[in-house]
């Protein structure tokens, strides 16, 4: 990419992040998503750290201040002034105990420790002066403990209790399990989202009835995790991100022990061991040899979900980690799948669902479009493996960001922007890729 283009694009990305910054956190998009979202803030901080590391730290601190008593970090922290602009809103979750702020009872993929480590590394002096790692470490430990203990599924991997928790809401990975959920909810369903994105680009009414029903059932059980609500899935993206986050937390712990001589109780080895356990379980339970990637597992039935999605490629992030690494041969198979006809070999950009899957739809949200966060995750993975040719290929999506006005996602063949525009993580991760 030409230097002037890179600088102009980075400036444009930074402007989106400035516009979406509220003073405490960054909204994913001003119209469609007017609150704080959990994994969005983690991605946003990764981009913001380059231009404004103090703000990146504030982003993560504000999210972690909404951590529940039981350790969970909520999917959404609501801005009560914008209560009606997104549904379900704060009223839906009101009355559930344990949340210090109005928030959803669900969670999202646990990218935060990794983000915190990257944010620290961008400005170690400022971070140390603010005591950033000291502030976030205990909260991140409790967050991971919540997932390991309260969300433990039969395979020794954490389960998600709702498709929203995967961050990839209408991925075909959840279709069969979702079919079992009655498509009826007591709460009237409002769709303010459809004012900001086309109906063909958002989950449909049938999905929403089930999303609400599941969320209601979970809420009415007090968001207790020992109550079966009819949906408990193991997601390869969620689990591999947790393993990467544990490795990052190990680095945070080692840094804290070095700076304060062990005054902060931290356990580098424990985090690496937790990552190793996750990777071993992922390798034994989620690998699909025919599809050449990792798949989801239905914790209720014990059945694997043999669908090829980008979620199943994300464990490639663990292939280059010094320890633990994926089982022998898996990295090569994942790269072959990534470059094969279902993904990069079949079209220009990285689709969220394999082009060979029967549900593939280039316009419909997580069933085909190319998302900037998935492209960023895979770009990190192939770069670490020394496949700079593939990293350059994945970088091609970044060139779409400015002309398409930082779209939520793009058509995986034409690159046409889809969903909402001026979307924060598209800007943040473009900024990261451009610098």
Q: Which stretch binds ligand 9WN (CB under 6 A): 35-43, 61-69, 343-351, 392-400?
A: 35-43
Q: What are phi and psi of 108, to 5 degrees?
A: -140, 175
* Interface with ligand 9WN in residues 72-111 (CB under 6 A): 75
Minimum Å gap between C-beta 42 and ligand 9WN is: 10
Could you give the CA distance from residue 236 to residue 341 in angstroms, rounded to a whole number? 21
Position among 13, 16, 34, 39 found at the interface with ligand 9WN (CB under 6 A): 39
Strands 287-288 and 233-234: unpaired
Whose Cβ is closer to ligand 9WN: residue 79's or residue 288's? 79
The contact pattern for ligand 9WN, residues 104-133, with x = CB under 6 A and - = no contact, is ------------------------------
Catalytic residue among 18, 70, 169, 267: 169
In 288-407, alpha helices (H): 330-339, 372-384, 388-395, 398-401
Strands 293-294 and 36-37: unpaired
The SS3 call for residue 160 is strand
Residue nearest to ligand 9WN (CB): 28
Has 169 been annotated as catalytic?
Answer: yes
Whose Cβ is closer to ligand 9WN: residue 39's or residue 294's? 39
Minimum Å gap between C-beta 340 and ligand 9WN is: 25
Q: By CB under 6 A, tell whether 369 contacts ligand 9WN.
A: no
Number of residues that bind ligand 9WN (CB under 6 A): 10
Has 408 been annotated as catalytic?
Answer: yes
Could you give the CA distance from residue 407 to residue 416 in angstroms, rounded to a whole number? 9
Q: By CB under 6 A, tell whether 43 contacts ligand 9WN.
A: no
131 within 8 A of 213, measured Cβ to Cβ: no
159 within 8 A of 288, measured Cβ to Cβ: no
Q: What are phi and psi of 196, to 5 degrees?
A: -120, -10
The SS3 call for residue 233 is strand
Minimum Å gap between C-beta 424 and ligand 9WN is: 8
Catalytic residue among 193, 408, 411, 432: 408
In 286-421, alpha helices (H): 330-339, 372-384, 388-395, 398-401
What tokens does 182 get? Answer: 């009655």
Position among 47, 53, 90, 167 found at the interface with ligand 9WN (CB under 6 A): 167
Whose Cβ is closer to ligand 9WN: residue 111's or residue 400's? 111
Whose Cβ is closer to ligand 9WN: residue 40's or residue 246's? 40
337 within 8 A of 345, measured Cβ to Cβ: no
Distance of CA 93 to the CA centre of its chain: 22
Could you give the CA distance from residue 312 to residue 244 in angstroms, rounded to a whole number? 15
Residues in the chain: 435
Whose Cβ is closer to ligand 9WN: residue 88's or residue 292's? 88
What tokens does 392 get? Answer: 């350059």
Q: By CB under 6 A, tell whether 28 contacts ligand 9WN.
A: yes
Is the bond leading into 209 cis (omega within 30 degrees of zero)?
A: no
Minimum Å gap between C-beta 75 and ligand 9WN is: 6
Contacts of 211 (CB under 8 A, 6+ apart): 162, 163, 164, 169, 203
Task: Return the number of other C-beta atoms located less than 10 Å from residue 379's C-beta.
Answer: 23
Position among 79, 193, 288, 361 found at the interface with ligand 9WN (CB under 6 A): 193
Q: By CB under 6 A, tell whether 164 contacts ligand 9WN.
A: yes
Minimum Å gap between C-beta 104 and ligand 9WN is: 8
Q: By CB under 6 A, tell whether 33 contacts ligand 9WN.
A: yes
Q: Which stretch binds ligand 9WN (CB under 6 A): 15-23, 33-41, 182-190, 289-297?
A: 33-41
Whose Cβ is closer to ligand 9WN: residue 39's or residue 137's? 39
Which residues make up the interface to ligand 9WN (CB under 6 A)?
28, 33, 37, 39-40, 75, 164, 167, 169, 193
Active site residues: 169, 408
């Amino acid at each position: 990419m030409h230097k002037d283009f890179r600088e102009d694009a980075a400036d444009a990305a930074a402007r989106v992040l400035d516009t979406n910054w509220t003073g405490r956190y960054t909204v994913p998009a001003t119209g469609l998503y007017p609150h704080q979202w959990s994994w969005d803030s983690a991605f946003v901080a990764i981009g913001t750290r380059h231009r404004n590391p103090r703000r990146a730290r504030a982003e993560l601190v504000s999210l972690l201040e909404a951590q529940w008593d039981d350790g969970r970090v909520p999917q959404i922290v609501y801005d009560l002034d914008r209560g009606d602009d997104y549904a379900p809103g704060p009223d839906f979750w009101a009355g559930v105990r344990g949340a210090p702020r109005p928030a959803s009872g669900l969670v999202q993929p646990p990218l935060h420790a990794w983000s915190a480590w990257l944010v620290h590394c961008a400005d170690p002096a400022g971070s140390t002066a603010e005591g950033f790692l000291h502030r976030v470490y205990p909260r991140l430990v409790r967050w991971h403990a919540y997932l390991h203990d309260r969300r433990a599924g039969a395979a020794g991997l954490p389960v998600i209790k709702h498709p929203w928790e995967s961050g990839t809401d209408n991925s075909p990975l959840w279709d069969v399990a979702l079919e079992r959920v009655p498509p009826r909810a007591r709460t009237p369903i409002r769709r303010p989202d459809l004012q900001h994105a086309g109906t063909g680009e958002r989950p449909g009414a049938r999905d929403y009835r089930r999303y609400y029903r599941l969320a209601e059932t979970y809420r009415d059980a007090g968001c207790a995790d020992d109550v079966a609500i009819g949906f408990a899935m193991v997601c390869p993206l969620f689990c591999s991100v947790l393993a990467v986050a544990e490795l990052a937390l190990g680095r945070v712990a080692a840094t804290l022990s070095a700076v304060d001589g062990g005054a902060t109780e931290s356990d580098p080895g424990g985090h690496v061991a937790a990552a190793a356990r996750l990777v071993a379980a992922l390798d034994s339970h989620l690998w699909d040899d025919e599809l050449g990637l990792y798949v989801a597992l239905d914790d209720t039935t014990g059945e694997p979900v043999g669908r090829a999605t980008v979620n199943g490629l994300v464990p490639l992030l663990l292939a280059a980690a010094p320890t633990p690494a994926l089982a022998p041969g898996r990295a090569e198979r994942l790269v072959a799948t990534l470059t094969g006809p279902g993904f990069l070999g079949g079209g220009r950009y990285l689709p969220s669902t394999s082009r060979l899957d029967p549900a593939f739809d280039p316009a419909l949200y997580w069933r085909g479009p190319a998302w900037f966060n998935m492209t960023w995750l895979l770009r990190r993975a192939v770069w670490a493996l020394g496949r700079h040719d593939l990293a350059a290929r994945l970088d091609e999506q970044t060139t779409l960001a400015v002309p398409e006005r930082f779209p939520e996602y793009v058509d995986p063949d034409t690159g046409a922007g889809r969903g909402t525009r001026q979307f924060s993580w598209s800007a943040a991760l473009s900024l990261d890729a451009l610098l």
